[in-house]
Structure 1
Amino acid sequence: MARLAKKQKEAAAKIEKGKFYSVNEASALVKDITNAKFDASVDIAVRLGVDPRKANQMVRGVVSLPHGTGKDVKVLALVTPDKEAEAKEAGADYVGLDEFLDKIKSGWTDVDVIITMPSVMGKLGPLGRILGPRGLMPNPKTGTVTMDVAKAVTEVKAGKIDFKVDKTGIVHAAVGKVSFSPEQIAGNVNELLSTLMKLKPTAAKGTYVKSIFMSSTMSPSIAVDSKIG
């Protein structure tokens, strides 16, 4: 345990107190301060000046990270038989309908994203208490309820993620892996931040982006310059 504490101190010492790093600087530094023996996830937390309790200040959207997430995303396509072939060809890990609905009812949720069709959503309603808390309920706004199942599967596999501001006003998102180059991490972060700026609610007053922090799974947080627009 003492050895781990020493590494943590060494990592923290590389972060200049009171400094707000540019996205490029933070993307390089997060690699330097990560000592995990596995390919740690790089995460970003953006505190927004919104009140999520008000419907007109809810921030939710999707973004296609140009360099992907670095994660093998497991996709379940809940589709009718006529759509099964295209879902499989697009790379869905699990494809079917009633048999998977039964598995979910029994508590199975070993997937990252569920994609379905408008005609199937009625069957998913009763499963909301299982899927909702896990962020797995398909939603037309995030492109996971669509007739173009193949496109949806392909996009998710390529790095499309959805995000939503939490009750404290923070958007959390994984933007890559420590094995990514600084340029790849920065590219993904900038794409997410650009998307967030486009989603600024007209009802939100004052400073929209209050703070940005970047970290890896086992690293200290790096304060990022929040003056992005």
Structure 2
Amino acid sequence: MKSKEEVIKAIEEAIKNSPKRKFKQSLDVSFNFAGVHMEGEHKLNITVFLPKGRGKDVEVGAFVDGDMNIQAKEFSKHVLSKVELESMAKDKRQMRTYANQCYSFISAPDLISVVGKNWGVVLGVRGKMPQPVPPNADIKAAFERVKNTIRIKSRKTPTIHVPVGSIDMDPADVYENIQAVYTAIERVVHEEKIRSAFIKTTMGQAVNLW
């Protein structure tokens, strides 16, 4: 990985050269690997917390009862009780639509098994099985953590694409997110096998990071 100054310079270039759009563009990094077995020892299926956040809001749903249900509705439009999630499970189309409307989910620990039984077939393939949140947890903090946590999952090809922020973030903050992602990847794929990396905005051109 290049020096912090060089990486920040590349981030600034990607932002500066990006065409203007009416929506907030994301910043994504693509990592290209060499000499790896992406379906074997180098398979990536990890979650990474972005320390500086993703730079834009995403919807996180919740499967919770009681007081947690009331609290969760302050931070999400997609909150279901046990009765509601079991009822919706009878309509696969509605369940798929609901799942697609959320980036991820949280759940009370006692509802995890209920979710798995009724929603596992829909959430599992989307990589959206809920994160358990204890009843006494800070529900706001739980939502924020899940919103700013990304999943990195490799496929057959030796390339992955990872969101690391948005176009209006401070480049130094984007760097911190990239560093967190890089560190997590390096635990599975050694640095010498990371051939190159590029950063780009949603509509912009790719800029070489290293």
What's the TM-score once normalised by structure 1's chain length? 0.71
**Which amino acid in 2 is paired with 1:200?**
V
User: What's the offset of the Cα at 1:220?
Assistant: 1.6
Pair 1:115–1:79, CA change in 2 (3 A): same
Secondary structure of the 1:114 match is strand
User: Separation in 1 of the partners of 2:132 and 2:156?
Assistant: 25
Pair 1:154–1:41, CA change in 2 (3 A): closer
**Which amino acid in 2 is paired with 1:122?**
S
Unaligned runs of 5+ in 2: none
Among 155, 161, 173, which residue is 2:162 paired with? Answer: 173
User: What's the offset of the Cα at 1:29?
Assistant: 0.7
Pair 1:48–1:81, CA change in 2 (3 A): farther
User: What's the offset of the Cα at 1:33?
Assistant: 1.4
CA RMSD between the two structures:
2.7
Unaligned runs of 5+ in 1: 1-20, 139-143
User: Separation in 1 of the partners of 2:177 and 2:21?
Assistant: 23
**Are 2:167 and 1:182 equivalent residues in the alignment?**
no
Secondary structure of the 1:193 match is helix
**Which amino acid in 2 is paired with 1:153?**
F
Contact 1:62 1:162 in 2 (8 A): yes
User: Separation in 1 of the partners of 2:156 and 2:138?
Assistant: 31
Equivalent residues, number: 193
CA deviations on 1:86-123 (whole Å, 9 max, x unpaired) are 5346x344322332454463232211111124432333
User: What is aligned with 2:110?
Assistant: 119
Among 10, 22, 26, which residue is 2:6 paired with? Answer: 22
User: What is aligned with 1:46?
Assistant: 31
How is 1:54-65 mapped onto 2 (pairs within 5 angstroms)? Answer: 54=40, 56-65=41-50
**Are 2:142 and 1:152 equivalent residues in the alignment?**
yes
User: Separation in 2 of the partners of 1:96 and 1:71?
Assistant: 24
Contact 1:87 1:149 in 2 (8 A): no
**Which amino acid in 1 is paired with 2:120?**
G
Contact 1:115 1:149 in 2 (8 A): no
Contact 1:83 1:149 in 2 (8 A): no
Contact 2:63 2:106 in 1 (8 A): yes
User: Separation in 2 of the partners of 1:52 and 1:66?
Assistant: 26
Percentage identity across paired residues of the two chains: 25
User: What's the offset of the Cα at 1:218?
Assistant: 0.9
Among 156, 159, 162, which residue is 2:151 paired with? Answer: 162
User: What is aligned with 1:196?
Assistant: 185
Contact 1:117 1:149 in 2 (8 A): no
User: Separation in 2 of the partners of 1:165 and 1:145?
Assistant: 24
User: What is aligned with 2:123?
Assistant: 131
**Which amino acid in 2 is paired with 1:135?**
G
Contact 2:29 2:198 in 1 (8 A): yes
User: Separation in 2 of the partners of 1:69 and 1:76?
Assistant: 17
